[in-house]
Structure 1
């Protein structure tokens, strides 16, 4: 039996399952952070909905079990999500980490893992939910952009935001150059958030999001210079 999410002992570090669809750069950052002891947890499985996902190579290189559930083989989202949930449960995870997993999950699936599933999104939520976030930020004349890590709820990119990383937009940015800058920030942001949830510093009861016991009135902000986060601001 695994410990409850957020509870960690030397003998039973939290177990992470990471879901991917593509290159897996955030998966690579998480693997490195776990191996270096930055995250006090183990990645026990990687699941992809695409057989050609490059991130599967990271799992193989580091001896992490992986499997593919090709969503194209399923007649409905519900059928795919049912098998995906079964595959995840087979690893007995404490946390489910979405790292570039490009699927809209059904409410039933989300409810099954509520409070222990995280996602990273390439925008400063609640701005720019969904796709093409970099091009949309440029089209709107934004001066900054970034990434957010949030708990997953049935509302697309709408769960409580834990922490964000901000990056400037410069005059000659394209969607590609901005995406690259945001991705570098993501590789610092996601390990930091996963570290905090695994150590119990971040807690969400389904009603109140807390950092070190203090309700958050706004997302934590990653300091790009120190790689630490600003202190929580009390709610209200």
Structure 2
């Protein structure tokens, strides 16, 4: 059984999808803890499913490195097989990425390498493209530049704004995340193969 720690910053819709999947005996992964960098609404999903939570507020630390050290210490207490960034809106310090990767994955609301960064949906709208997508990647030291594990195209519809497009992307992100975690758990996807040679 694959043990997951999920990190969130907001409402936790991807987290909810993982918790619901893991609630079924047939799903080969379990969320053992949920962490956040602030008081996030999504922690309520964890509490609903009886999953422990922790919060490491960035504002409580003098610098990014010391915040990262405490976050890593909290994660390691749970001895996870995989850490999932699920709407986690803060860049992890390189030391944290190095300690966890390649067993550290993230979702992104674009068809990478198109539209990396914090505003992938807004950037797609601004570019006037007729399709974008959703991706699940291994987190590396870059910005949305790690190995791609799964992705799917999503059309940009006439009249779409950032909110309506993002709502449709989130549905696909959730599906891709649940499936990717399943494939990591059952050995179909080997994260060790994504390590740089």
For normalisation by structure 1, the TM-score amounts to 0.80
* Larger helix percent: 2
* Post-superposition CA distance 1:188-224 (Å, at most 9, x none): 111001110111111133037xxxxxxxxxxxxxxxx
* Post-superposition CA distance 1:125-159 (Å, at most 9, x none): 11111122112111111111111000011111110
Which residue of 24, 49, 54 corresponds with 1:36? 24
SS in 2 for 1:202: coil
Matched, 1:207 2:188: no
Q: In 2, distance between residues paired with 1:107 and 1:196?
A: 26
Which residue of 15, 21, 24 corresponds with 1:27? 15
Q: In 2, distance between residues paired with 1:194 and 1:39?
A: 9
* Corresponding position of 2:122: 135
* Corresponding position of 1:94: 81
SS in 1 for 2:83: strand
Unaligned stretches of 5+ residues in structure 2: none
Q: In 1, distance between residues paired with 2:42 and 2:30?
A: 17
* Post-superposition CA distance 1:35-59 (Å, at most 9, x none): 12453011100000011x1110001
SS in 1 for 2:106: strand
Runs of 4+ in 1 over 3 A off after TM superposition: none
Higher radius of gyration, 1 or 2: 1
Paired residues of 1:123 and 1:147 also in contact (CA < 8 A): yes
Q: In 2, distance between residues paired with 1:38 and 1:102?
A: 31
Unaligned stretches of 5+ residues in structure 1: 1-12, 209-236
Which residue of 36, 39, 58 corresponds with 2:45? 58
Paired residues of 2:110 and 2:133 also in contact (CA < 8 A): yes
Equivalent residues, number: 195
Paired residues of 2:7 and 2:34 also in contact (CA < 8 A): yes
Which residue of 101, 115, 128 corresponds with 1:114? 101
Q: In 2, distance between residues paired with 1:103 and 1:118?
A: 14
Paired residues of 2:184 and 2:191 also in contact (CA < 8 A): no
The Cα RMSD (Å) is 1.1
For normalisation by structure 2, the TM-score amounts to 0.96
